[in-house]
């Protein structure tokens, strides 16, 4: 198994590459979407939580990520002896009408195909995505982790979770600042699954040919509905439905332990066993939580309810050889809350891996 590190768009620089390497990472997952773009008042130290204004403005709809820019990032990382393992998430500006089944759907399918081909040409093996209309939305920030560390979670339902998505917004980002008044139409779970299957049927042959694995993140928070919209994967068994919907070897999972443990059904150890046994896990968000929706808190890696060592033992048994990244951690009280939180998680993971994966 490999120790990886996730970097947001604003962290794609030498300082953060050095930091990741110093934490023991060998592999990097990058975000090309800028969740902190314009109008997002969120602290750069925290993960974006998704309040009523969303995360901010989506990117340029006409500017797809090029082979050159992706290759440059890969080469910059290589100078620090780091391997670019994957990209996490599409920009809503490039694919909103795939999620919405809107008038630009055909154009957006071409966008995604171009992006996947470019990712393949740059030699990046994995693309993580989240097929979700509301996205990571409605969570709250509390000083709820050990020692009153600032973290995120849910404390019962809240107004935000019930608020419909305004037109011009999808997946928490604004793709049309001049959209008309009103809300995105409400759809059924059946319709959402139809859209996903159609998307996979179009994209997976291209991904396979490009040598790229498509890795699906579950819905965070994993509720049946968020913002009046259905969620795709909000119980562990729904991941099987996703895998079974298309047999392509490029149809895989961005396996988020935290989100899966927050689900009301299933068992995190059985789910880990079930999906890694099938060789369908592309990479893992290795983080811990307490509780289940709608009452849960993200915790430090060693204070949640998941036995992380037991997870590693299951991964080892099933010969999982992919990358583990911390995903999120609580922020630690210091001059560098994000860095200290991540360094703590990485040290813990490195030690655990040394114990189990030798
Ligand atoms: Mn995750």
Reported as a pLDDT band with limits 50, 70 and 90, residue 1 is very high
pLDDT at res. 20: 98
Mean confidence (pLDDT) of the chain: 95
- The 3-state DSSP class for residue 237 equals coil
The CATH number assigned to the domain holding 159 equals 3.20.20.150
pLDDT at res. 43: 63
Domain span holding position 160: 2-356
Picking from 354, 272, 347, the residue whose alpha carbon sits closest to that of residue 310 is 272
The arithmetic mean of pLDDT across residues 334-349, rounded, is 97
pLDDT at res. 37: 72
How many angstroms is it from 253 CA to the middle of ligand 1? 11
pLDDT digits (tens, 9 = 90+) for 219-241: 999 999 999 999 999 999 999 99
How many angstroms is it from 285 CA to the middle of ligand 1? 5
Helices (H), 221-267: 238-244, 257-261
The arithmetic mean of pLDDT across residues 93-103, rounded, is 98
Picking from 273, 356, 341, the residue whose alpha carbon sits closest to that of residue 45 is 341
Are 333 and 263 spatial neighbours (Cβ–Cβ below 8 Å)? Answer: no
pLDDT at res. 335: 97
How many angstroms is it from 325 CA to the middle of ligand 1? 9
Q: Which residue has the tokens 């399918």?
A: 109
- Interatomic CA distance for residues 60 and 116, integer angstroms: 17
pLDDT at res. 47: 66
pLDDT at res. 53: 67
Strand blocks (E) in 161-250: 169-170, 173-174, 213-216, 225-226, 229-230
Which has more pLDDT, 96 or 48? 96
Q: Which residues pair with 141 in a beta bridge?
A: 152
How many angstroms is it from 136 CA to the middle of ligand 1? 9
245 CA to centre of own chain: 20
Six-digit token string for 187: 């759809």
The arithmetic mean of pLDDT across residues 285-309, rounded, is 98
Q: Which residue has the tokens 């560390």?
A: 149
pLDDT digits (tens, 9 = 90+) for 32-74: 998 887 555 566 666 666 566 678 899 999 999 999 999 999 9
Does the pTM exceed 0.85? Answer: yes
pLDDT at res. 35: 85
- Interatomic CA distance for residues 227 and 344, integer angstroms: 34
pLDDT at res. 358: 80
- Interatomic CA distance for residues 355 and 298, integer angstroms: 25
How many angstroms is it from 219 CA to the middle of ligand 1? 9
How many angstroms is it from 255 CA to the middle of ligand 1? 7
Count CB-CB contacts under 10 A for residue 131.
Answer: 22
How many angstroms is it from 338 CA to the middle of ligand 1? 16
**Phi-psi category of residue 227: left, alpha or beta, with phi > 0 → left and psi -120 to 50 → alpha:** left
How many angstroms is it from 256 CA to the middle of ligand 1? 4
Q: How many domains does the chain have?
A: 1
How many angstroms is it from 135 CA to the middle of ligand 1? 11
pLDDT at res. 48: 65
How many angstroms is it from 218 CA to the middle of ligand 1? 8
Are 137 and 277 spatial neighbours (Cβ–Cβ below 8 Å)? Answer: no
Tell me how far CA of residue 254 lies from CA of 217, 243, 349, in angstroms.
Answer: 5, 12, 18
How many angstroms is it from 327 CA to the middle of ligand 1? 6
Find the helix or strand (DSSP H, E) in which 194 lies: helix 189-210
How many angstroms is it from 182 CA to the middle of ligand 1? 30
The arithmetic mean of pLDDT across residues 335-353, rounded, is 97
């Amino acid at each position: 198994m490999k120790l990886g590190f996730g970097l947001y768009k604003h962290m794609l620089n030498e300082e953060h590459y050095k930091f990741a390497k110093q934490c023991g990472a060998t592999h990097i997952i990058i975000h090309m979407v800028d969740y902190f773009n314009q109008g997002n008042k969120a602290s750069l130290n925290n993960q974006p939580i998704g309040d009523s204004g969303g995360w901010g403005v989506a990117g340029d709809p006409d500017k797809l990520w090029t082979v050159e820019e992706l290759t440059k990032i890969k080469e910059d990382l290589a100078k620090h002896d780091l391997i670019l393992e994957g990209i996490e998430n599409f920009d809503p500006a490039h694919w909103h009408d795939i999620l919405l089944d809107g008038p630009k759907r055909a154009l957006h399918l071409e966008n995604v195909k171009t992006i996947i081909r470019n990712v393949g040409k740059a030699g990046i093996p994995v693309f993580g995505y989240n097929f979700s209309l509301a996205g990571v939305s409605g969570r709250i920030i509390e000083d709820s982790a050990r020692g009153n560390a600032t973290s995120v979670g849910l404390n019962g339902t809240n107004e935000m979770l019930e608020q419909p998505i305004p037109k011009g917004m999808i997946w928490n980002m604004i793709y049309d600042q001049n959209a008309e008044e009103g809300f995105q139409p409400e759809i059924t779970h059946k319709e959402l699954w139809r859209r996903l299957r159609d998307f996979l049927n179009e994209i997976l042959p291209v991904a396979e040919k490009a040598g790229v694995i498509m890795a699906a993140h579950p819905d965070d928070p994993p509720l049946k509905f968020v913002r009046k919209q259905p969620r795709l994967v909000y119980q562990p068994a729904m991941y099987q439905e996703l895998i079974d919907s298309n047999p392509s070897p490029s149809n895989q999972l961005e396996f988020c332990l935290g989100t899966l443990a927050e689900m009301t059904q299933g068992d995190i150890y059985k789910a880990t066993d079930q999906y890694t046994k099938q060789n369908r896990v592309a990479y893992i968000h290795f983080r811990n939580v307490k509780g289940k929706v709608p009452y849960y808190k993200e915790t430090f890696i060693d204070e949640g309810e998941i036995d992380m060592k037991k997870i590693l033992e299951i991964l080892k048994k099933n010969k999982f050889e992919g990358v583990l990244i911390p995903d999120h951690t609580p922020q630690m009280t210091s001059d560098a809350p994000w860095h200290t939180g991540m360094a703590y998680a990485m040290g813990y993971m490195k030690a655990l891996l040394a114990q189990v994966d030798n």
